[in-house]
Structure 1
Amino acid sequence: MHNVSNPFQACNDIFFKPNGVFKAVGEHNNWSWMPFILIMAISLVSQYLYVNFVDIEWFAEMNIAAQGDMSPAEEEQMKAFFTRSALLWSSVIGAFFIPIVINAVYAVYVNLATRSDDSHVFGFTDWYGFAWWLSMPYVLTGLVGVALLLFTGDHQVAPSILSPASLGFIASIPMDSPWYAFGQAVRLELFWGIYLATVGITQWTSFSLKKSALIASAPYLIIYSIWLLALAVF
């Protein structure tokens, strides 16, 4: 198996030779600080650049339009929230805390789902570090998104520009569409992460590839199926 000797090499090899990376990460759990730092850096920088670039009045109007029927007073109240400063703080705080919480929930899930493994040796903190490696594809697409933002001349641009591999960006789903959030969530990184999770679970447990793939994909299949059904019905 491919040998990974340090966390810097692991951050590169996770895209090409993930088996060796997960083997090494299982033996050096402090390596997971590297993807955490990279993911947080690209997330915070991209949000900062976007908020300071976008036409804030246009952004407010698009978000108000997405809410549907609102009274003039409600529109004014909502518009008052959309100052550049308020949006910057909410975006940066969200970019920092949301992945921390999501990865913690995912770690709980995988820890419970792998308890039946006879060779079970990894606990919550191990799987929490594991979760950050699954998010590494967001670093690549995040860099592409930042490049697209820096080279665009139109300040009336949706946040989907920061997710260039998402269905929302590719299909140009407008912000006032009920499908916008779903389109943002369906992205290449999601499927790439499921693949990495499958590889990692196979490496860290005695489970078969099929069972590992089921564990890796189950929460997304359930969540996205319910989300899609809700959009179709309502």
Structure 2
Amino acid sequence: MQPVSNPFQAMKDVFIKPNQVFATIKETHNWSWIPFIVISLITAIPIYLYFNFIDFDWYRDLVIQSTAGDLSPLEQENMAKAMNQPQLLWASVIGAVVANIIANAILALYLNITTKSDEECVQGYTDWYGFTWWTSIPSIFTSVIALIILSFSQDPQLSPISLGPTSLAFIFGLEMNSPWFSLAQSVRLESIWVMYLIAVGLSQWTQLPIKKTYIIATAPYLVIWGAWALMVLL
């Protein structure tokens, strides 16, 4: 079997032989910068293109009606005046990248804590933070699909849901004013893949039982989604 010799090969091989990739990156340093940069760029590109493609007046009205439809006409007018295309473009681009950074920082903290039960695990917080970028690689597919949708669309009133084409919100065609929209937007098909990669990585980095690695990998997602669903219902 060909060894994983560089981070670009590792990014490719994580889809076909993740065990070997995680075993390799356990012994390497500074490779995690590559998936971090690639994921950040590929996350930002569809958002940048989207805001340069859409009918911004339509988009602004859509956002106001979806998020502030119960405000008075004057309040909605003031909100509309405060929204401009460059501001929203860069806020969305930077916000998406920062959201990934924060989400992975929290996940790394969780992994660092839950693996303490393995006395042979020597990885620290920064190791787990690098680890999370390798498990985030499936998110690239969402951005690629979004780019394809943008490339073929000729309608400048393209729904922003199209930026998350693997989400349940997109799949089931939920409107932005639906109480289930935010939750459905966060539940994405590649999440299953991410959970699998976390479990595989844990099996390579720790001596924890396989069953426990899958529990650790799936628990945060299931707990957050379950609690979110209860809040919507209640």
TM bucket, shorter chain? over 0.9
Q: Which residue of 1 aligns with 2:96?
A: 95
Letter of the structure 2 residue corresponding to residue 47 of structure 1: I
1:2, 1:164 → 2: CA distance? 34
Deviations 1:96-121 (A, max 9, x none): 21111111111111001101102111
1:24, 1:108 → 2: CA distance? 22
Runs of 4+ in 1 over 4 A off after TM superposition: none
Q: Which residue of 2 aligns with 1:10?
A: 10
2:2, 2:162 → 1: CA distance? 36
1:42-53 equivalence runs, <5 A: 42-53=42-53
Q: Which residue of 2 aligns with 1:120?
A: 121
The alignment's TM-score, normalised by the length of structure 2, stands at: 0.95
1:36-185 equivalence runs, <5 A: 36-67=36-67, 68-185=69-186
Shift of 1:208: 1.1
Gap regions ≥5 residues in structure 2: none
Deviations 1:45-93 (A, max 9, x none): 1110011112212212222222241111221122123211111121122
1:169, 1:4 → 2: CA distance? 36
Q: Which residue of 2 aligns with 1:24?
A: 24
1:160, 1:19 → 2: CA distance? 34
Shift of 1:2: 6.5
2:98, 2:145 → 1: CA distance? 23
Shift of 1:33: 1.0
Shift of 1:171: 1.0
Equivalenced residue count is 233
2:37, 2:200 → 1: CA distance? 23
Shift of 1:29: 2.8
2:18, 2:81 → 1: CA distance? 47
Root-mean-square deviation (CA, aligned residues, Å) is: 1.3
Deviations 1:146-178 (A, max 9, x none): 111111111112222122211111111122222
Shift of 1:212: 0.5
